[in-house]
Amino acid sequence: MGLFDKKIEVKGVNYFGKPKLPPGQTPTVKFPVLTYGEIPSVTKDVWHFVAWGLVEKERDWTWDEFMKLPQTKLRADFHCVTHWSRFDDEWEGVMFRDLVQHLKLKPEAEFVLQHAYGGYTTNLPLRWMMDEDVMFAHTINGKPLDPEHGGPMRVFTPRRYAWKGAKWIRGIEFLAKDKPGFWEVNGYSNSADPWREERFW
């Protein structure tokens, strides 16, 4: 059986009213690993999360502190720009919106750059990061995220192609001006909307 499992039928609309299967995507039950470069080894005891840039006060969280933030479960779909989509996984973690409650952003803050262990970055406007379903995820279908999928913690952005969520997230930087991340500099779309097939610039 190949990557694309044509036997899955995906119909209807998702929870934000878009076709469940975006154009040009094929359903799979597999969970391919897409990583540029090495998989960094990040354990919970060294994991550390920092919020910096246009904030009144920089803040950081250890793993245990982060786990004390409100935890949310979200059933959502995952769309990779290389044409595969996974459906209805149960993701669990801290919503971006809930984390931001613990920060005082400067009024000029309009963009967010995600920084990962290993150097990967990806960018989104703050207002899109504030979508109700953008999360820092540590658990999928009741199990801790595997290291190759970004464990112990990754970002998940269900309304964007999956490269907009950094695996092994280590911090977020608030900026006044947009700053393209790793794939965005290398020709991928800045906005990455799967329903508009925004794959490349």
Ligand X SMILES: Nc1nc2c(c(=O)[nH]1)N[C@H]1C(S)=C(S)[C@@H](COP(=O)(O)O)O[C@H]1N2
- Positions that interact with Mo ion (CB under 5 A): 34, 80-81, 163
116 binds ligand X per the rule CB under 6 A: yes
24 binds ligand X per the rule CB under 6 A: no
Q: Say how many residues touch ligand X, by CB under 6 A.
A: 18
Q: 163 and 42 in contact (C-beta within 8 Å)? A: no
The partner in contact with residue 120, picked from ligand X, Mo ion, none with C-beta cut-offs of 5 to 8 angstroms by kind, is ligand X
160 binds ligand X per the rule CB under 6 A: no
CB of 178 to ligand X, least distance (A): 19
CB of 117 to Mo ion, least distance (A): 18
What is the DSSP track for the chain?
--S--TT----SB-TTSSBSS-TT-EE-SS-----SS------TTT-EEEEEESBSS-EEEEHHHHHTS--EEEEEEEE-TTSEEEEEEEEEEEEHHHHHTT--B-TT--EEEEEETTS-EEEEEHHHHTSTT-EEEEEETTEEPPGGGTTT-EEE-TTS-GGGS-SSEEEEEEESS----HHHHTTB-SS--GGGT--B-
Measured from the CB atom, is 29 or 33 closer to ligand X? Answer: 33
Given the rule CB under 6 A, which of 21-29, 63-71, 98-106, 158-166 is the region that contacts ligand X? Answer: 158-166
> Exactly one of 35, 71, 139, 191 binds ligand X (CB under 6 A); which one?
35
Measured from the CB atom, is 16 or 200 closer to Mo ion? Answer: 200
Q: Which residues bind ligand X (CB under 6 A)?
A: 31-36, 80, 116, 118, 120, 149-150, 162-163, 165-168
